[in-house]
């Protein structure tokens, strides 16, 4: 299988990406890729799983096991799935629920399952310290303390995160609450509300997708040339609604997606990682980094079919440019009809909390310019037995990140939904002003975050902070902190 076509660099987009613009250039380099995909299969979503109720708890039973998935008709690809042949269900829960997760490991090697974006006790986090032995079942229990939003879960085994997620070990958690339910927004799952896990994969001549990293993958993260939506290529979504909501998860290992519509229609972002924004933000395009989520409203009142596209690029976009524009999904409305007005206001975002605790600095660097990709935070690689620092319970801190590498790094912090204080000294753009758990840090940027550490302390078990390019994480661009 050939590598990504690096020669198709787009200087315009590169500039847009690096300048932090959300307006992507017109896709001048559009090259349809239909060699792999059979276009036109109906869009599918993973099944919605509302769990079962037991003693006042919402219980989810999840079995992680090897699968055989047909990305292409009649070709079975070895995968890992969660109650499925690839990826997992969409778990549906309400804010305030007491959750119990029964996670069974049938993959024949140690694994973990991490609840990305959730505020919970470290022991329930599912990071690299909550290893599940082959054949065992892990059953954390915790309160769902989020606002309505789109969260996800994925493997996080020490040095195996990239391999496990690549194989399919990920799923979505869809959280509802009363604040969101009171707003006039599309929310009928499968009718006007759709969840899309975006990924890309590379297949070999036998239709397999081995996790075989070449030198470039180690540096930039694993990328593929086949776009997947919920494990499916080139889906077509037929809708019977004038306005739809797309909940989009960037579930890629190392690929950034510059999302836009082929007819350049404006769409509205209504939520970031941790829930609703203050108001709908009109966007000509949206960049989602690995790990990030966004919810978007799309006006289909003209009744015209439209293609959702993604300009794809890797961490090394500053040097290499983007790798192309992919068709993601065609949307076909059944009819033209007037769309409802957008709500003017969404959530009351709390004012940025004042800092009460430490200012911490995090310097993202690459050592040795080695081709083996030595990524460090504050000069150190990850050490499973080293806790980097302890945060006092109740503290609100400022964490300032600088990136001296020539690469993009989407930084993710466990346990918290944080706020972006500034990006290069400027306040964040509107679509980044809400609740975040993953933030893109471009080369030469300095990004300051404000984070509050509440409710849960543990003297021993840590939370992680890391680059969400999974190959960077596995290569050691990760640290750990406790809340005490």
466 binds ligand C2O (CB under 6 A): yes
Task: Report the residue count for the chain.
Answer: 484
Nearer to ligand C2O, 171 or 258 (CB): 171
Q: To the nearest whole angstrom, how small is the minimum distance from the Cβ of residue 90 to Cu ion?
A: 18
Q: With CB under 5 A as the contact rule, which of the stretches 145-153, 241-249, 278-286, 409-417 interacts with Cu ion?
A: 409-417
CA distance 282 to 412: 25
- For 346, other C-beta atoms within 10 Å of its C-beta total 21
How many chain residues are in contact with Cu ion, going by CB under 5 A?
6
Q: Report the C-alpha gap between 83 and 153 in whole angstroms.
A: 14
Report whether 37 contacts 340 (CB < 8 A): no
**Cα gap 183→186, rounded to integer Å:** 9
Nearer to Cu ion, 99 or 469 (CB): 469
Q: Which is nearer to ligand C2O, 414 or 450 (CB)?
A: 414
Among the listed residues 84, 300, 461, 467, the single contact to Cu ion using CB under 5 A: 467
Would you count residue 160 as binding ligand C2O (CB under 6 A)?
Answer: no
User: Judged by CB, which is closer to ligand C2O: 156, or 268?
Assistant: 156
Q: Which does 291 bind (CB under 5 to 8 A by kind): Cu ion, ligand C2O, none?
A: ligand C2O
Q: Judged by CB, which is closer to ligand C2O: 243, or 435? A: 435
| Contact partner, 58, from Cu ion, ligand C2O, none, Cβ < 5-8 Å per class | none
Question: Terminus-to-terminus CA distance in the chain, angstroms?
Answer: 49
| Shortest CB 116 distance to ligand C2O, Å | 4
Shortest distance, position 290 Cβ to Cu ion, whole Å: 9
Query: Which span sits near ligand C2O by CB under 6 A: 273-281, 299-307, 403-411, 464-472?
Result: 464-472
Give the alpha-carbon dihedral of 81, 87, 89, 91, to 10 degrees.
120
Residues in region 62-121 near Cu ion by CB under 5 A: 116
Tokens of 16: 């847009």
Which residue among 58, 160, 414, 431 contacts ligand C2O (CB under 6 A)? 414
Q: How far apart are CA 427 and CA 363, in angstroms?
A: 20
Instruction: Report yes or no: 233 and 258 within 8 Å, Cβ to Cβ.
Output: no
Q: How many angstroms separate the CA atoms of 239 and 237, rounded?
A: 6
| Interaction pattern, residues 97-136, with ligand C2O; x per rule: CB under 6 A | -----------------x-x--------------------
Q: What is the rounded distance in angstroms from the CA atom of residue 211 to the CA atom of residue 165? A: 10
Closest CB to ligand C2O among residues 216, 466: 466
332 contacts 305 by C-beta, under 8 angstroms = yes
Binders of ligand C2O among residues 305 to 334 (CB under 6 A) are none
Pick from Cu ion, ligand C2O, none: which does 472 bind, CB < 5 to 8 A by kind?
Cu ion
DSSP result, 341-401 = PPPS----PPPPPPP-S-EEEEEEEESTT-TT--EEETTB---TT---EEEPTT-EEEEEE
391/414 Cα distance (integer angstroms): 13
- State which residue, 79 or 405, has the beta carbon closest to Cu ion: 405
The secondary structure of 258-284 as a DSSP string is EEEETT---EEEEEETTEEEEEEEEES
In the bound state with ligand C2O, the residue whose beta carbon lies nearer, of 281 and 464, is 464
Burial status of residue 80 (CB atoms within 10 A of its CB: 0-12, 13-18, 19 or more): buried
Question: Least distance (Å) from Cu ion to the CB of residue 407?
Answer: 6
Which of 51, 121, 274, 291: binder of ligand C2O (CB under 6 A)? 291
Residue 467 binding result from ligand C2O, Cu ion, none, given CB thresholds of 5 to 8 Å by partner type = Cu ion
Question: Per residue in 83-117, is it b (16+ CB within 10 Å) or e — as a string?
Answer: bbbbbbbbbbbebebebbbebbbebeeebbbbbbb
Task: Specify whether the CB–CB gap between 441 and 410 falls below 8 A.
Answer: yes
Nearer to ligand C2O by C-beta: 165 or 185? 165
Whichever of 4 and 441 has its CB closer to Cu ion, that residue is 441
409 binds, among ligand C2O, Cu ion, none (CB under 5 to 8 A by kind): Cu ion
Smallest gap from residue 257 Cβ to Cu ion (A): 16
- Binding part of the chain for ligand C2O, among 28-36, 196-204, 260-268, 460-468 by CB under 6 A, reads 460-468
Instruction: Tell me the HSE value of 25 on the side-chain side, using a 13 A CA sphere.
Output: 20
In the three-class reduction of DSSP (H, G, I as helix; E, B as strand; rest coil), residue 88 is classed as coil
Query: Applying CB under 5 A, does 409 fall inside the site for Cu ion?
Result: yes
Contact 463, 482 (CB under 8 A): yes
156 binds, among ligand C2O, Cu ion, none (CB under 5 to 8 A by kind): ligand C2O
Is the CB of 116 or the CB of 129 nearer to ligand C2O? 116
CB 93 within 8 A of CB 136: no
Choosing from 147, 154, 293, 472, the residue that interacts with Cu ion (CB under 5 A) is 472
Contacts to ligand C2O by CB under 6 A: 114, 116, 154, 156, 291, 412, 414, 464, 466, 468
Contacts to Cu ion by CB under 5 A: 116, 409, 414, 467, 469, 472
């Amino acid at each position: 299988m050939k590598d990504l076509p690096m020669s198709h660099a787009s200087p315009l987009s590169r500039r847009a990406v690096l300048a932090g613009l959300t307006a992507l250039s017109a896709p001048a380099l559009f090259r349809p890729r239909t060699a792999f995909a059979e276009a036109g299969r109906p869009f599918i979503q993973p099944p919605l799983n509302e769990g079962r109720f037991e003693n006042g708890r919402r219980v989810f039973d999840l079995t992680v096991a090897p699968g055989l998935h047909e990305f292409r008709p009649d070709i079975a690809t070895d995968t890992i799935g969660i109650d499925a042949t690839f990826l997992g269900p969409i778990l549906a829960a309400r804010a305030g629920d007491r959750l119990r997760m029964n996670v069974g490991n049938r993959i024949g090697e140690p694994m973990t399952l991490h609840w990305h974006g959730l505020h919970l006790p470290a022991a329930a986090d599912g990071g690299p310290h909550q290893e599940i032995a082959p054949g065992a079942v892990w059953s954390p229990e915790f309160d769902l303390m989020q606002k309505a939003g789109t969260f996800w879960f994925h493997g996080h085994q020490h040095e195996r995160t990239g391999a496990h997620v690549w194989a399919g070990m990920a799923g979505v958690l869809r959280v509802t609450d009363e604040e969101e339910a009171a707003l006039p927004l599309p929310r009928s799952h499968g009718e006007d509300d759709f969840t899309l896990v975006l990924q890309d994969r590379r297949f070999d001549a036998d239709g397999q997708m081995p996790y075989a990293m070449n030198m470039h993958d180690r540096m930039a993260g694993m990328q593929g040339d086949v776009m997947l939506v919920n494990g499916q290529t080139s889906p077509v979504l037929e809708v019977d609604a004038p306005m739809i909501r797309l909940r989009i998860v960037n579930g890629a290992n190392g690929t950034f997606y510059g999302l836009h519509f082929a007819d350049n229609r404006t769409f509205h972002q209504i939520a970031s990682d941790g829930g609703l924004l203050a108001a709908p933000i009109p966007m000509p395009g949206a960049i989602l980094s690995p790990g990030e989520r966004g919810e978007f409203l799309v006006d289909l009142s003209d009744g015209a079919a439209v293609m959702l596209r993604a300009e794809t690029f890797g961490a090394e976009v500053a040097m290499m440019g983007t790798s192309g524009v992919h068709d993601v999904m065609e949307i076909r409305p059944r009819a033209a009809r007037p769309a409802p007005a957008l709500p003017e206001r969404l959530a009351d975002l709390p004012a940025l909390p004042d800092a009460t605790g430490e200012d911490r600095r995090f310097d993202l660097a690459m050592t040795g310019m080695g081709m083996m990709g030595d990524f460090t935070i504050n000069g150190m690689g990850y050490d499973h037995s080293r806790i980097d620092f302890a945060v006092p319970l109740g503290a609100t801190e400022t964490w300032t990140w600088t990136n001296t590498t020539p690469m993009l790094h989407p930084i993710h912090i466990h346990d918290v939904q944080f706020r972006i204080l500034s990006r290069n000294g400027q306040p964040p753009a509107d679509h980044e002003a809400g609740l975040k758990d993953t933030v893109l840090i471009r080369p030469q940027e300095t990004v300051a975050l404000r984070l509050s550490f509440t409710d849960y302390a543990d003297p021993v078990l840590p939370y992680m902070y890391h680059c969400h390019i999974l190959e960077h994480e596995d290569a050691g661009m990760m640290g750990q902190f406790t809340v005490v």
